[in-house]
Amino acid sequence: MADKKKFILAVPNFSDGRRKEVIESIVSELKGVEGVKLISYEPEHDFNRTVVTVIGEPQSLKEALLNMAAKSYELIDMNEQSGTHPRIGSQDTIPLFPFNNISLEECTELAEEIGKEIYDRYGVPVFFSGENARCKERKALSFIRKGQYEGLKEVAHLDERKPDIGEAKLHKSAGATIVSADKEGLTAYNVFLNTEDLSTAKKIAKAVRGPSGGFSTIRAVGIKFPERVGVVVSMNMFDCGKTPLYRAYNFVKNEASRYGITVTGSEIVGPVKLDYLLNSLGYYLGLENFDTKQILETHLME
């Protein structure tokens, strides 16, 4: 591993999905950087956030992410921002994941460096989550984001809610940023239903998500995309190796049938690992003794 290039996957999100000029300006900090490859960015109007997928060599990626965060802090004022997705800061999250020839421990160390630099350079407080969490509760983004920017601003002075780095308060316009390292990144997956009844989508989402009795590796909400017919069960899947896409899809399909509703299709938002598609392919085709080396394109990747 020592003589091979190391690559980290980062999937940061910032709190603007509506202003094209702002989105492009922030994302531009990741373009044309040596040792960094911007894979995609997905603005979400209703959520009012943009999710970015980027791969890079550790130090090059670190600087690019810090520059991206700086631009988010400059252009997004949390006192004016609103959207349907939970958030606490302009640069809301910077999660890192091992991608190639690098360990989780190395990603964890880099996350620590990024968190420290964010406060030292920009004065924005930092919460650590995932493998970097200072306590069990902070491993979950939902605990850190409880009350969102507006609520956290009122309680950030309390010991149980104060940032891990920085003063016990939020930045006056940028809020705070959550930095983390984890073994697996989330896969965003939407399943579409042929009904306009949002309450039914919410019931199905409640059934599928871990905290209310569903899959421990899934968080889900029922929402309406204004640009589409029907409602959506929108899922964040945190380990598609243990809980495959096909299992989540079939679960939603079966729950929908209880209400006399059918599934019209599904959507993977952003990039996805090849293995996560192959395990669903194997399931639906009933493949036996299938080897990824049977896929010709994998030889090009080597």
Q: CB neighbours of 120 closer than 8 A, spacing ≥ 6?
A: none
Instruction: Give yes or no: residues 162 and 240 share one domain.
Output: no
Number of domains the chain contains: 2
Question: Residue 263: inside a domain, yes or no?
Answer: yes
Enclosing domain of residue 86: 7-181
Determine the pLDDT at residue 46: 84
Instruction: Give yes or no: residues 156 and 21 share one domain.
Output: yes
214: CATH = 3.30.70.670
Backbone angles phi, psi at 147, to 5 degrees: 90, -10
Query: Which of these ranges, 19-33, 100-114, 136-150, 269-283, has the smallest mean pLDDT?
Result: 269-283
Please report which confidence band the pLDDT of residue 302 belongs to, taking 50, 70 and 90 as the band edges: low
Instruction: Give yes or no: residues 157 and 216 share one domain.
Output: no
Instruction: Give yes or no: residues 29 and 140 share one domain.
Output: yes
Question: Residue 168: inside a domain, yes or no?
Answer: yes
Question: Residue 300: inside a domain, yes or no?
Answer: no
Determine the pLDDT at residue 163: 97
Long-range contacts (CB closer than 8 Å, 24 or more residues apart) made by 292-301: 298/274
Q: CB neighbours of 191 closer than 8 A, spacing ≥ 6?
A: 232, 233, 235, 248, 249, 252, 253, 263, 265, 266
Give pLDDT tens digits for 251-283: 999 999 999 999 999 999 877 888 899 999 999
Out of 45, 85, 157, 171, the active site residue is 85
Average pLDDT for the chain: 93
Q: Where does a domain end: 148, 181, 214? A: 181
pLDDT exceeds 90 at position 120: yes
Asked if residue 180 lies in contact with residue 133, where contact means CB atoms within 8 angstroms, the answer is yes
83: CATH = 3.30.990.10
CA–CA dist 146, 296 (Å, integer): 47
pTM for this one? 0.78
Eight-state DSSP code of residue 244 = -
Sign of CA dihedral 293, 295, 300, 302: negative
Give pLDDT tens digits for 38-92: 998 989 888 899 999 999 999 999 999 999 999 999 999 999 999 888 999 999 9
Is residue 85 part of the annotated active site? The answer reads yes
Query: Which of these ranges, 63-72, 118-127, 236-245, has the smallest mean pLDDT?
Result: 236-245
Determine the pLDDT at residue 301: 64
